[in-house]
Chain A
Amino acid sequence: MTGVNRISGAGRLTPARTARFTFDGRTLTALEGDTIASALIANDIHLVGRSFKYHRPRGILSAGAEEPNALLDVSRDAARRQPNVRATVQEVFDGMRVSSQNRWPSLAFDVGGFNDLLSPFFAAGFYYKTFMWPKAAWHKLYEPFIRRAAGLGVAPTETDPDHYASRYVHCDVLVVGAGAAGLAAALAAANAGAKVILCDEQPAVGGALHYDSGSEIDGRAGYDWALATGKALAAMDNVTLLTRTTAFGYYNHNFVGLVERVTDHLPAPDKALPRERLWQVRAKKVILANGAIERHMVFPNNDRPGIMLASAGRTYLNHFGVAVGKKVGIYAAHDSAYEAAFDLRKAGIDIPAIVDCREKPGDMVLAEARSLGIEVLSGQSVVNTSGKLRISSISVARNGGGAARKIAVDALLVSAGWIPSVHLFSQSRGKVTFDAATERFLPGTYAQECLSVGACNGTDDLQATIDEALAAGELAARAAGAEGGVQVALSGRNAFEWTGGMIGAAEGAGQDTTVKAFIDFQHDVCAKDIRLAVREGMHSIEHIKRFTTNGMASDQGKLSNMHGLAIAAEALGKEIPQVGLTTFRQPYTPVTFGTIVSHSRGNLFDPARKTPIHAWEEAHGAEFEDVGNWKRAWFYPKAGENMHEAVARECKTVRDVAGVFDASTLGKIEVVGPDAAAFLNLMYTNAWDNLKPGRCRYGIMLRDDGFVYDDGVVGRLADDRFHVTTTTGGAPRVLHHMEDYLQTEFPHLKVWLTSTTEQWAVIAVQGPRAREIIAPLVEGIDLSKEAFPHMSVAEGSICGVPTRLFRMSFTGELGFEVNVPADFGQAVWEAIWARAEPMGACAYGTETMHVLRAEKGYIIVGQDTDGTLTPEDAGLSWAVSKKKPDFVGIRGMKRPDLVKEGRKQLVGLLAKDPQVVLEEGAQIVADPNQPKPMTMLGHVTSSYWSPNCGRSIALAVVAGGRARHGQTLYVPMADRTIAVEVSDMVFFDKEGGRLHG
């Protein structure tokens, strides 16, 4: 037996195929194909959770993706645990563990239920009003308490061991939803020869045909037709049928995101399979056949376990073979609920009454009810319910008052009508219009290439739905260019016509402010809360939504939005369209992070760039730092050395002997062409015409606003060829900046730009013995002081490998930068190292490079400048040509604010106590005793311990800084105030003699 409520002979599951699972530790038996919800109801379990705010007992409300209540914690093993899984969507597999949420110590006895008694204090907006004061208590007291008390599932703590896949796909026609409308549309489009993707969130096609027992299509039972049609479509080469696949987001230009749940229903999934797959679909045409969602009745205590949507009652019976109770009441404002009564009665279930708040239910359903002997109480309403953990009775009274009659039930099916699912249409930026006659929002003006068909388009009749869908399918296929095929015709018939419907509060959920008539189950929002919001001055639906949190839970108000809107409109004395509708946002239903992230995790999250010398650095114990995506050798600690000691040793060694440094990450751009010099004249502040081939120059690049953008050394190899270097982080944007001007402002210049960053490995050899180290390895270049002075470049070979050899220095020492093709980088490095090491030279990393350049006052663009410094501010006016008629930034840097007195300027800063190393980013003031907030003059941009100066050094930007030379300023810190003296920026070898060694 797979549950006391399983009706033999009913439903479509196979009785022999069982699956065992646990619910809160209790072992239950389900049938294969059951959802958790159907399996629990089969076992007569309706109570599955506690509500978000009041901790009220809650049951299963729906049988679909719209479920607000039945959110459970589902796990396969310790690491594969997911909270807030909708019991109505998740299929049972053998060995599954299911737990209820938001209850302690147990589901049946929950201490938090105390909140329900305190609920008069928990009205909408309560948190905003009550926890305002004292301010400090929010973080320490209120928020942690509220977060513990409210909320639903608990996030998993273990790393997700599953993998996820992602793919892009193009198609002619994407059909969302495989109910009668979607299947018909897909059939027509596929027959016309279009490339079609048809997706549906359920495990099988059929949509509403799953439960709509009376419908017929093409002379067969509707669901049988659906299965056969799905099979036929899946067999077509031009059709991709995706089940368990939700179209969760409709984005620009017909880009639709689908998530396919691949393994969540399998007891032992193949490890090679992804758990979920993201389909990023670009469709020429989209057909939306999303269907409609039934909404509940808003009446007092309408949230007891056992109260469910009528369509859910039919789904559990007709598809899963499960009766939702033994004595099932019906409360309706719409004819569709009657069919639930009919189906259940025919299955032998007792239907004590159909309570219909309308005076005149539809004739067809009324006649059938009479012939089945079901009592219909029209013009009456359910004014209350009772039953602690499950509904036990309803109180029914005539509309307008009168004595209530108590009717015993163990389940109550409700229907207030249907809400067309315009979610995806609205996400596509289509504009909905309100149909006053049927009180529903329908697709109005389309913004993208899509069409809505069937129930989501407000089409109720099955034949009309099919006709509309077939026409749309063919139209979409033709518009996408499909030319083949024959037209399809299908007949369809509903068992009953449907009339009626209501939105807003029903009888008994009137103005009383203590009655709990829920509209949003997941966020515990009642009709009275909406009215309170209006009384407190919220007039826009957007404000009402945020004040009450109606529709802000993970179900995004699929059931509650229309009720909330109608109650707000009534309270405001306005028509519904005047109050407006909140926007439907992606995703339609929650999507796991795993699906969105897909393969982009761990090492694949962000690529790591490694230089050609990386392996050697790793083997020699380098610590690495991230610079953009690059992994750069940071320092090379010897055994027992900490970072400070290693850097101090490297700094001394470079200046005493020599050091070898991997500068391969430096950005490099080859600028070639007859107008190369003219182009660089425009891109850099310096003049390049007079730079002779074989010479280099330090260049400053500005933006047109006059601020420093990048810097680097440019070598001229020939009249028409320059080797430009950029900062490590700046390489891509500098090339983009150059391309922009070349292509769009100076297209007359004959220049070609090529990024060569990764083509050259760069080995900097710096220090007094640098020449001695490389000289024996170099061929074809005279390295003498006279033939190859500071700021020279030459082509030759090193270790038999072609090289572009620069004589330049970012350390202030005699130095060379050896550029060799990247593939030879490590071999040449090793050859250089083999000579350097015995001389007592060291390999050094970026930290030492930073200290050495700071000792010389060489700036780093992006560290010592921040995009608001002009060349003048940075002390680089010498590099700005006074003669050129134009360069990028020439006008911007003359703007009044950029030339006025008192701007922040880059200066040196020496702490009075030479042992004190300032903090980078620390603020600088003139008077540390001034009242707060103090006037800040600037901040420290670079600060290091300088082993070569034997003291701390710093660079800083300070207002009017150069005029303050020698002044004492102060750096206030949390625990002390540090006195500093403004100095020039060169701290070591002020004459610069070492550079020319």
Chain B
Amino acid sequence: MLLIYCPYCEEERSELEFRNAGDAHIVRPANIAEISDEEFEEYFFLRQNPKGLIYERWRHIHGCGRFFNAVRDTVSDRFHVTYKAGEPKPDLDAEPKTNETVETYEALEGVAE
């Protein structure tokens, strides 16, 4: 079970109190009624599903109720930082990625041919 720091409550709380809400920093187009099918597809459907760092949204649903953003490593589930909704995307290029140490479940489970 994850331990998540709520940037509004300023406390680490158990995952039980939170709900994941998908990718962060995806802005709903202001002129959404006019955008093309391709633009809508890009906005609504397409996601990266990265191995490594992901910018994602969480809601402290059984706490303060606020939505906030987090940077999590999808390999190790380590949270690098959480921050309030509306704040700019943190620059994490300098952050070590767990990728380089623990590779994948597959690597732990046996070597593929």
Q: Chain A: residues with CB nearer than 8 A to chain B?
A: 168, 251-255, 280, 282, 426, 429-432, 445, 447, 539-542, 577-583, 704-705, 736, 739-740, 743-745, 747, 885-886, 890-892, 895-896
Contact = CB atoms under 8 A, between A and B. Distances in A.
A540 B1 contact: no
11 contacts: A255-B3, A429-B102, A432-B108, A445-B101, A582-B110, A583-B105, A736-B61, A740-B21, A885-B33, A890-B32, A891-B32
A891 B37 CA distance: 9
Contact of A445 (B2, B65, B102, B113): B102
B42 interface: no
A705 B45 CA distance: 9
* Top 9 closest pairs, chain A to chain B, by CB: A580-B110, A253-B3, A580-B111, A743-B67, A541-B110, A891-B32, A583-B109, A447-B102, A255-B1
Contacts of A896: 37
A253 B67 contact: no
A704 B42 CA distance: 13
Nearest to B76: A447
A282 B15 CA distance: 12
A350 B61 CA distance: 69
A542 B61 contact: no
Interface residues of B, number: 35
Contacts, number: 93
A7 B101 CA distance: 53
Given A582-B110, A890-B32, A891-B40, A744 B3 contact: no
Contacts of A253: 1-3, 77
Contacts of A745: 28
A580 B98 CA distance: 21
B100 to A, nearest CB: 10
B14 to A, nearest CB: 8
Contacts of A426: 108
A578 B111 CA distance: 6
A894 to B, nearest CB: 8
Contact of A743 (B40, B66, B76, B101): B66
A540 B37 contact: no
A429 B108 contact: yes
Contacts of A578: 111
B1 A542 contact: no
B59 interface: yes
Contacts of A743: 66-67, 85
A540 B101 contact: no
Nearest to B36: A891
A284 to B, nearest CB: 10
A579 B111 CA distance: 6
B112 interface: yes
A271 B28 CA distance: 59
A736 B111 contact: no
Contacts of B110: 540-542, 579-582
A57 B36 CA distance: 73
Nearest to A705: B44
Contacts of B102: 429-431, 445, 447
A280 B113 CA distance: 39
A282 B33 contact: no
Interface string B93-107: 000001001110101
Contacts of B101: 431, 445, 447
B91 to A, nearest CB: 21
A895 B3 contact: no
Given A429-B76, A704-B28, A251 B113 contact: no
Nearest to A896: B37
A475 to B, nearest CB: 20
A892 B45 CA distance: 11
A282 B101 CA distance: 23
B92 to A, nearest CB: 19
Contacts of A581: 108-110
Interface string B1-38: 11100000000001000010100000010001101010
B94 to A, nearest CB: 21
A740 B67 contact: yes
Give the interface centre of B19, B77, B86 by most chain A CB atoms within 10 Å. Answer: B77
Contacts of B105: 583
A254 B77 CA distance: 11
Contacts of A168: 14
A740 B1 contact: no
Nearest to B65: A739
Contacts of A886: 32-33
A876 B67 CA distance: 32
Nearest to A742: B67
B61 A539 contact: no
B59 A736 contact: yes
Given A447-B102, A542-B109, A744-B86, 15 more contacts: A252-B1, A252-B2, A429-B102, A432-B108, A447-B101, A540-B110, A580-B110, A580-B111, A581-B110, A582-B109, A740-B21, A747-B86, A891-B32, A892-B40, A892-B44
